[in-house]
Amino acid sequence: MSDYIFYTAANIQDTLRDKVKKLRKLKGWTQKEMAHRSDIPLSTYARFEQLGEGSIHDLAKIIITLGRGDEIEKILNSAIKGESPMDLYRQIKGKK
């Protein structure tokens, strides 16, 4: 995994879009299946993968569907504790 530096919201959108697409493909799911499993319209999911756009609610559904909700919790807790993103990355990587 590369070190990421986010300068803009678009950087974060692009990274989230790319990671979600990669995780979906690793599971062998089509966009249609991912949308169904996430309980969001296919057009909404396709727009997310194309443009990185969508509501926070839909993103939360996608993250939960991919089984990554615990990682979001770790990121938020790390921020509250004042840990750096790399500290968190090392913690997560070390446990897998």
| Number of structural domains the chain divides into | 2
Flag the least confident range among 9-18, 22-31, 76-85.
76-85
pLDDT of 1: 41
Q: In terms of residue numbers, what domain contains 49?
A: 7-65
Question: Mean pLDDT throughout 2-28?
Answer: 86
Look-up of token digits 């443009």: 51
Residue with the bigger pLDDT between 53 and 1: it is 53
Strand ranges for the chain from DSSP E: none
Q: Are residues 36 and 81 in the same domain?
A: no
Q: Are residues 59 and 79 in the same domain?
A: no
Predicted TM-score (pTM) above 0.85: no
Distance CA 56, CA 74 (A): 18
CATH code at 41?
1.10.260.40
In the predicted structure, residue 66 carries a pLDDT above the cut 80: yes
Residues 17, 58: one domain? yes
pLDDT at 92 over 70: no
When comparing pLDDT for 81 and 69, which is higher?
69
What distance separates the 2 farthest-apart alpha carbons in the chain? Answer: 39
Q: What's the pLDDT score for residue 4?
A: 58
Return the DSSP state at 84: -
Q: How many CB atoms lie within 10 A of CB 38?
A: 23
Please indicate, yes or no, whether residues 15 and 55 belong to a single structural domain of this protein: yes
- Same-domain check for residues 51 and 73: no
